[in-house]
């Protein structure tokens, strides 16, 4: 018995060391961007993996260049990215939670067909619809930061509905029936009973959708009018000088500034992701 316990402890220790080393490997690209954001262009081109020293250290000049480079202010891109992310994720959570509740509770042929249709949307490559989407978005005037969240709702609905439906099926119907007996209508039942109980899935889906929308490059690039609106990924793409030269120091600085908010959000909310995924993916 003791030998088995020792073997398990040794095995768990080896697995811990392995995954710790693996996590460092995954963090290396972020570390590389961080150190290069404090180096001169010449030092980056000479050795991108070397630590900054007295000659290659550029201080915060790269960050100042990133803020002031070109005719489009970086803070404006931050504002548009924040607006699109908050509006899109808010709509996805609200609309998909309501849809999932309907699908889980009605459970007729139409709701099942719609549910499988949402799941099918998760496996359709974006490249198959991007040209049609771009044309439709311009025809319907969805090519602004204030209207593009409508498009994000369509693309983010598949994952959100899948997770929400699984979680709603785990909520006892008796709780909702008790609320109906107390005089609650469908709207009050959803917002006062179901929605608070969806908190673990709301947080996990919200984090996943935030990381997707914040870092998305292709959809805003195809839909938005880039002369007026730029998100952070598009702004990074346009950090070029004459003849296609790229200020690598400023680019690394801007990339680092765009990474920090997502890292902070993920660090504070990571414990809710596994809870929400486990709660919403194994039921029903």
- The answer, yes or no, to whether residue 245 has pLDDT greater than 90, is no
Based on the fold, state whether residues 151 and 248 are members of the same structural domain.
Answer: yes
Based on the fold, state whether residues 3 and 92 are members of the same structural domain.
Answer: no
User: What is the CB neighbour count within 10 angstroms for residue 196?
Assistant: 9
Q: Domain of 207?
A: 72-281
In a domain, 43, yes or no: no
Overall average pLDDT of the 5-27 stretch: 76
Per the CB < 8 A criterion, the answer to whether 235 and 77 are in contact is yes
Paired with 240 in beta bridges are: 246
Q: Summarize pLDDT for 194-240 with one digit per residue, the tens.
A: 888 888 888 888 888 998 999 999 899 989 888 888 899 888 887 76
When divided into structural domains, the chain yields a total of: 2
User: What is the CB neighbour count within 10 angstroms for residue 276?
Assistant: 25
Instruction: List the CATH number of the domain containing 174.
Output: 1.10.3720.10
Mean residue pLDDT across the chain: 83
Based on the fold, state whether residues 270 and 141 are members of the same structural domain.
Answer: yes
In a domain, 8, yes or no: yes
User: What is the CB neighbour count within 10 angstroms for residue 237?
Assistant: 15
Q: Summarize pLDDT for 141-191 with one digit per residue, the tens.
A: 888 999 999 999 988 888 899 989 988 888 888 888 888 888 888 889 899
Based on the fold, state whether residues 116 and 12 are members of the same structural domain.
Answer: no
In a domain, 104, yes or no: yes
Say whether 134 sits in a helix, a strand or coil. helix
**Helices first, then strands: H and E counts in the chain:** 14, 0
How many angstroms separate the Cα of 191 from the Cα of each of 67, 164, 181, 194, 266? 42, 15, 16, 6, 26
Give, as one character, the DSSP assignment of residue 227: T
Based on the fold, state whether residues 234 and 169 are members of the same structural domain.
Answer: yes
Based on the fold, state whether residues 10 and 76 are members of the same structural domain.
Answer: no
- The answer, yes or no, to whether residue 241 has pLDDT greater than 80, is no
Based on the fold, state whether residues 124 and 1 are members of the same structural domain.
Answer: no
pLDDT above 90: percentage of residues in the chain:
17
Based on the fold, state whether residues 217 and 149 are members of the same structural domain.
Answer: yes
In a domain, 263, yes or no: yes
Based on the fold, state whether residues 144 and 15 are members of the same structural domain.
Answer: no
Per the CB < 8 A criterion, the answer to whether 58 and 39 are in contact is yes
Based on the fold, state whether residues 21 and 85 are members of the same structural domain.
Answer: no
Based on the fold, state whether residues 89 and 166 are members of the same structural domain.
Answer: yes
- Contacts of residue 134, Cβ cutoff 8 Å, sequence gap at least 6: 222, 223
In a domain, 39, yes or no: no
In a domain, 174, yes or no: yes
In a domain, 53, yes or no: no
* Predicted local confidence at residue 282, as pLDDT: 47
| pTM (global) more than 0.95 | no
Based on the fold, state whether residues 225 and 167 are members of the same structural domain.
Answer: yes
- The answer, yes or no, to whether residue 23 has pLDDT greater than 50, is yes
In a domain, 37, yes or no: no
């Amino acid at each position: 018995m003791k030998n088995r316990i020792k073997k398990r402890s040794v095995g768990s220790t080896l697995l811990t060391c392995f995954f710790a080393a693996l996590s460092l490997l995954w963090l290396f690209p972020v570390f590389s961007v961080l150190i290069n954001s404090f180096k001169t262009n010449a030092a980056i081109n000479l050795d991108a993996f070397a630590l900054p020293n007295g000659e290659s250290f550029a201080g915060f000049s790269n960050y100042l260049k990133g803020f002031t480079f070109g005719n489009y202010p970086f803070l404006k891109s931050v504002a548009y990215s924040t607006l699109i992310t908050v509006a899109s994720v808010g709509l996805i959570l609200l609309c998909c939670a309501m849809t999932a509740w309907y699908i889980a509770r009605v459970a007729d042929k139409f709701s099942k067909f719609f549910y499988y249709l949402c799941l099918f949307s998760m496996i359709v490559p974006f490249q198959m619809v991007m040209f049609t989407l771009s044309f439709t978005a311009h025809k319907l005037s969805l090519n602004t930061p204030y209207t593009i969240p409508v498009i994000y709702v369509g693309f983010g609905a598949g994952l959100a509905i899948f997770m929400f439906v699984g979680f709603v099926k785990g909520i006892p119907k008796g709780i909702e029936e008790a609320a109906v007996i107390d005089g609650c209508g469908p709207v009050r039942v959803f917002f006062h009973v179901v929605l608070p109980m969806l908190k673990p899935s709301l947080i996990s889906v919200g984090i996943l959708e935030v990381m997707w929308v914040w870092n998305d490059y292709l959809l805003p690039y195809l839909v938005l009018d880039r002369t007026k609106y730029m998100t952070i990924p598009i702004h990074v793409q346009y950090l070029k000088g004459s003849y296609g030269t790229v200020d690598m120091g400023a680019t690394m600085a801007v990339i680092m500034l765009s990474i920090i908010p997502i890292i902070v959000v993920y660090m504070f909310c990571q414990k809710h992701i596994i809870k929400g995924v486990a709660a919403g993916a194994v039921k029903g």
